[in-house]
Structure 1
Amino acid sequence: MRIELRTDPSLQETVVTVECPALDDSTARLLASLRAFDHKLTGLRDGQTWLLEPADVFYIETVDKLAFLYGETTVWESPLRLYELEDRLSGGSFLRAGKSCLVNLDRVRALRPEMGGRLELTMQNGERLFVSRQYTPAFKQRLGL
């Protein structure tokens, strides 16, 4: 990979152009990292890269070292790892619910304490998720419980 930087004082904003022979995993990761400044998420589905608003994502989960973004009825694969997504979404409405899950608090409809110190979350789309015992105190603190 070759990196070039050109400065032009007449520009109103920074423009980043990526030229590549084909869109591969490393290029997709690079694009996802660049879009962090735009506060958008990227998801792969049906051979296309989708630009997603974080508010449209209900939760993020890792399965077999791959991160998936779950919307109301759609699932996208993320080119980023869970810790990268957590860093990007920190300070917003996403909170760690388990070792392999981030939850969008704005999309939680109800919660219920479970045996063993866990919390059961019901999302706005009806899906149920669990907050592990390790993350329950931070979750309750964030919600003011």
Structure 2
Amino acid sequence: MKITIAEQPGSSGIEVTIRCEKTNRQVLDIVARLRMFDRKVTGSTDGGTHVVNAEDILYVESVDKRTFFYTKSAVYETPLRLYEMEERLEGCDFLRVAKGCVVNFRRVASLRPDLNGRIIAIMDNGEQIVVSRQYAPDVRRKLKMI
């Protein structure tokens, strides 16, 4: 892979162009990482509102009609519904793994099979997330793409 940086004084922002013979998994991976870099989400904790980078989010969970997202160091509540968070994080390698949970696939350290066709996703902080039987085929499909 060749990387070229061209400075253009007066440019209005950063523009990334990817030139490739064919769009493959590596190209899609690069695009997902770039999208995640610039994506921000707000959440509340300890009485304050915080801005969090999408790449820092381990997973998003809906509990008792409230939506929370988790990082290595904190839990944040967001006023958005789970599907709205999923839409906001679209294209950033987040994957629905249960009716009430969306996982940042980049932060999954390992996967192991569980009973009844479920999968246990171990996050890079050691936390375990159950991938339901309904969403396990999506995870398997994603793994075959890598």
In structure 2, the partner of 1:62 is 62
TM-score by length of 1: 0.72
Q: Hey, what's the Cα distance between the residues in 2 that align with 1:110 and 1:65?
A: 29
Specify the SS of the correspondent of 1:140: helix
Q: Hey, what's the Cα distance between the residues in 1 that align with 2:59 and 2:70?
A: 5
State percent identity of aligned pairs: 48
Q: Is the 8 A contact 1:96 1:102 kept in 2?
A: yes
TM-score by length of 2: 0.71
* 1:68-107 CA-partner distances (Å, limit 9, x unpaired): 0100121000111000001111121100010000000111
Shift of 1:46: 1.2
Structure 2 gaps, min length 5: 1-11, 13-37
In structure 1, the partner of 2:72 is 72
Shift of 1:48: 1.0
Aligned residues: 110
Q: Hey, what's the Cα distance between the residues in 1 that align with 2:135 and 2:101?
A: 11
In structure 2, the partner of 1:122 is 122
* Aligned pairs for 1:1-145 within 5 A: 39-144=39-144
Return the letter of the residue paired with 2:79. Answer: P
Q: Hey, what's the Cα distance between the residues in 2 that align with 1:128 and 1:138?
A: 18
Q: Hey, what's the Cα distance between the residues in 2 that align with 1:85 and 1:101?
A: 10
Q: Is the 8 A contact 1:42 1:79 kept in 2?
A: no
Shift of 1:47: 1.4
Return the letter of the residue paired with 2:88. Answer: R
Q: Hey, what's the Cα distance between the residues in 2 that align with 1:97 and 1:54?
A: 17
Shift of 1:144: 1.3
* 1:39-68 CA-partner distances (Å, limit 9, x unpaired): 210010111110010110100101110000
Return the letter of the residue paired with 2:114. Answer: E
Runs of 4+ in 1 over 3 A off after TM superposition: none
Q: Hey, what's the Cα distance between the residues in 2 that align with 1:90 and 1:116?
A: 29
Structure 1 gaps, min length 5: 1-11, 13-37
**Alignment RMSD, CA only?**
1.6
